[in-house]
Amino acid sequence: MKHVLTDAFVEVNGVNLSSHCSSVTIEDGAEEQDVTGFGSGYREVIPGLKTASISLNIFQDYDNGSVYQTLNPLYESGGTFGVKVRPDSAAKSGTNPEYQLTGRLFNRPALAGAVGEANTSEVTINNGGTAGLVVGTA
């Protein structure tokens, strides 16, 4: 069945940010390395190094124990942290896979918006671990 995102689950460093996220995008891909040799009629490409990231569009919230207090220290520390995303807030399963990334934040999610608009930030979490994007179903 085609899926519509209405109740996606987004957890960053153990904090459930789902209620403050309006979009989430997971990207995971490999560089194409050309290994075409003489005598080939076609280019031959193989996968090289992979890149993974999770991007969020979040509504900023400066309350204690909320968005800013979650993301800003992660940016300032420069350390790695866990991110979990599921299509639905229900437990992970074969039909509700959980995407896990050990990430790092390279941009401070501070503030953005015009007069009268919601204060939103685009946050991109890049892979900071050795395992890359891991998919869990059980």
- Would you tell me which residues interact with other proteins (CB under 8 A)? 11, 13-17, 19-20, 61, 63-67, 69-70, 73-74, 77, 79, 81-82
Shortest Å distance, C-beta 63 to other proteins: 5
C-beta of residue 26 within 8 angstroms of C-beta of residue 54: yes
Using the minimum distance from each CB to other proteins, give the nearer residue, 33 or 89.
89
Using the minimum distance from each CB to other proteins, give the nearer residue, 53 or 80.
80
C-beta of residue 100 within 8 angstroms of C-beta of residue 82: yes
Q: What is the dihedral angle through the alpha carbons of 91, 94, 97, 101, rounded to the nearest 10 degrees?
A: 100
Shortest Å distance, C-beta 50 to other proteins: 25
Shortest Å distance, C-beta 9 to other proteins: 10
CA-to-CA dists, residue 76 to 37, 49, 65, angstroms? 47, 27, 16
Using the minimum distance from each CB to other proteins, give the nearer residue, 20 or 99.
20
